[in-house]
């Protein structure tokens, strides 16, 4: 069904039918019920922060993916696709699959064998308290900013589609997440994320299916995208030979090295938001399989995210703009392409399912960040710096209070997003600040026995500060873009990729140089932390088709085929 242009500029796009309202209310009641039910199984710190380490590979894998399937995926990348074309799919394929497989096969043994509660906890064991404190504070700051994105995105959907007040929407979503994560901890977050994974696919598939029907299939969609934007918007690799031949203003080196080698590996292997889900697995094999299962599903998420962005270019009657310009003119921003399509295609019943899918995605992202913040705050800041002898019950209590505090801070950060052109420009900027240098520190710690405590701390600090400094340099002097992003034609996303690459390289160089001039730990202190000093359990008792490396190879083959098909 089509909506007239007048409908798009009205105060809101649609009205909920009684059926839609019942679906949405039932969803909120269900997630709260799960939180109350699981409270009785979250009485110890192991239960509250790591779900008792008893999740199967499938549960951990789906939660691992669902924790990332929030506003960043559903609204952020749909908006980024409208802005940059199919190039946004790189963030799902080269920007995710290799790193997820690497996490499962190479890095999970160290995280799991060391029995750490967090990535900063691993840094404490490998480098010392100073590196743990720096990474914990940086990560805590980043998670509340990321949680704010999900709050803002959900409120934006409710404003555009239903006309709800943005402040009311933020209040409802924040209270709901605070209750069910505060009560049940990570276990509650994981079970709700698996539920939300199913709801997201059930509701979000409506838009690409109905959109392809309206446009006449993939080939006709490409023709309409080329007419309304450019033929370059439907090519994944062939336009990356120069900075000026693609909508992002980026060269293939930025995609391969900035995104594929730094941002991607940094996020999927060191961002505790996702790593925490895998640490909940019941044994090492399940922990290794979980990211591989997540990678298999990740390859097909563009069906519900990238396709809607391209469909928006083809069928929406208005031109979408950056967030700041939309606020100033009263128009619609890139971030609103998904709710605009939701209003275009979904009638009574379907609308309730679609809105519930978006709510599930946003709340999944919020819950993931809040539960990760709670764990890092409790173990790596409160317990490490302020109350080293805290009892188990005191840790659980602080976990619940920090959940509420994290949600409250996130409410404030939700309003920062309007300063950026799109949600994903904002998110990738944060990753370049905090995740890119952290990856260099963790990787050197796992692979190089000679890395020292001083080297780890000063490398991480240099990488983080340099990334923020490069961002500020371009803001003060836009001509600096030619140095940071290697081209004056680069746009915000390209700048983020190159800034991440430089900050990671600086982190590695400083870590290596300082380590060579300082004393390393004894080999006996590195057992379970570094390759060469850690005994990895054999998987010889499993048939070849039951081993993680076999399934990682199968995922890798499909990954290569997809990149060739959409070249």
Query: Distance between CA atoms of 241 and 449, rounded to whole angstroms?
Result: 39
Tokens linked to 299: 């390859």
| pLDDT for res 243 | 78
Angle at alpha carbon of residue 266, lines to 264 and 271, rounded to 5°: 110
Enter the pTM of the model.
0.73
With 90 as the cut, is the pLDDT of residue 459 above it?
yes
Residue 95 pLDDT class (50, 70, 90 cuts): confident
User: In percent, how much of the chain has pLDDT > 90?
Assistant: 8
With 80 as the cut, is the pLDDT of residue 318 above it?
no
Query: Distance between CA atoms of 370 and 409, rounded to whole angstroms?
Result: 10
Query: Distance between CA atoms of 103 and 552, rounded to whole angstroms?
Result: 11
111-150: per-residue pLDDT in tens?
777 666 667 878 888 898 888 888 888 878 787 777 777 7
The CATH classification number of 23-423 equals 1.20.1730.10
Residue 469 pLDDT class (50, 70, 90 cuts): very high
User: Which DSSP category does 163 fall into?
Assistant: -
Query: Span 352-368, mean pLDDT?
Result: 70
Closest by CA to 470, choosing from 505, 510, 499, 494, is 499
Question: Reduced to 3 states, what is the DSSP secondary structure of residue 321?
Answer: strand
> 341 with 316: CB under 8 angstroms?
yes
Tell me how crowded residue 18 is: count the other CB atoms within 10 A of its CB: 9
Tokens linked to 70: 């929030």
Residue environment code for 183-215, b if the CB has 16+ CB neighbours within 10 A, otherwise e: bbbbbbbbbbbbbbbebbbebbebbbebbbebb
Residue ranges covered by each domain of the chain: 23-423
């Amino acid at each position: 069904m089509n909506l007239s242009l007048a409908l798009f500029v009205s105060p809101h796009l649609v009205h909920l039918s009684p059926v839609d309202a019942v679906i949405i209310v039932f969803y909120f009641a269900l997630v709260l019920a799960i939180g109350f039910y699981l409270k009785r199984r979250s009485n110890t710190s192991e239960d509250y922060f790591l779900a008792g380490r008893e999740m199967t590979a499938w549960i951990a894998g789906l939660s691992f993916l669902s924790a990332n399937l929030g506003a960043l995926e559903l609204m952020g990348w749909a908006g980024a696709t409208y802005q940059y074309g199919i190039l946004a799919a790189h963030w799902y394929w080269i920007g995710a699959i290799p790193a997820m497989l690497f996490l499962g096969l190479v890095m999970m043994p160290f995280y799991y064998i060391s029995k750490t509660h967090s990535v900063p906890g691993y840094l404490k064991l490998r480098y010392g308290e100073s590196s743990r404190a720096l990474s914990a504070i940086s990560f805590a700051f980043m998670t509340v900013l990321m949680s704010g994105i999900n709050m803002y995105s959900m409120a934006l959907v409710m404003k555009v589609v239903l006309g709800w007040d943005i402040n009311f929407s933020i209040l409802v979503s924040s209270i709901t997440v605070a209750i069910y994560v505060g009560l049940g901890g990570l276990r509650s977050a994981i079970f709700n994320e698996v539920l939300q994974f199913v709801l997201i696919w059930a509701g979000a598939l409506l838009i690409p299916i109905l959109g392809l029907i309206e446009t006449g299939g993939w080939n006709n969609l490409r023709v309409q995208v080329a007419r309304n934007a450019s033929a370059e918007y439907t090519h994944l690799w062939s336009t990356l030979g120069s900075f000026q031949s693609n909508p992002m203003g980026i060269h293939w080196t930025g995609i391969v090295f900035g995104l594929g080698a730094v941002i991607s590996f940094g996020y999927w292997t060191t961002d505790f938001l996702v790593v925490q889900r895998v640490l909940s697995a019941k044994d090492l094999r399940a922990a290794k399989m979980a990211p591989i299962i997540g990678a298999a599903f990740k390859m097909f998420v563009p069906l519900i995210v990238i396709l809607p962005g391209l469909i928006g270019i083809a069928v929406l009657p208005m031109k979408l703009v950056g967030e700041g310009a939309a606020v100033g003119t009263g128009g619609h921003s890139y971030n609103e392409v998904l709710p605009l399509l939701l209003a275009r295609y979904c009638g009574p019943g379907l609308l309730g399912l679609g809105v519930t899918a978006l709510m599930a995605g946003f709340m999944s992202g919020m819950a993931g960040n809040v539960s990760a913040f709670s764990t890092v705050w409790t173990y790596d800041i409160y317990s490490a710096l302020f109350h080293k002898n805290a009892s188990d019950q005191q840790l659980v209590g602080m976990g619940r209070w920090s959940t509420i505090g994290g949600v409250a801070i996130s409410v404030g950060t939700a309003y920062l997003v309007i300063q950026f052109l799109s949600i994903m420009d904002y998110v990738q900027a944060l990753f370049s600040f905090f995740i890119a240098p952290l990856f260099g520190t963790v990787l050197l710690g796992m692979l190089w026995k000679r890395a020292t405590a001083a080297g780890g701390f000063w490398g991480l600090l240099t990488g983080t500060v340099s990334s923020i400094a490069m961002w500020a340099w371009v803001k003060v002097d836009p001509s600096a873009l030619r140095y940071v992003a290697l081209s004056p034609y680069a746009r915000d996303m390209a700048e983020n990729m190159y800034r991440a690459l430089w900050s990671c390289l600086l982190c590695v160089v400083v870590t290596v140089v300082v380590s060579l001039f300082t004393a390393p730990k004894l080999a006996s202190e590195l057992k379970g932390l570094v390759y060469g000093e850690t005994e990895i359990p054999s998987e010889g008792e499993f048939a070849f088709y039951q081993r993680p490396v076999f399934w990682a190879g199968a995922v890798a083959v499909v990954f290569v085929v997809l990149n060739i098909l959409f070249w």
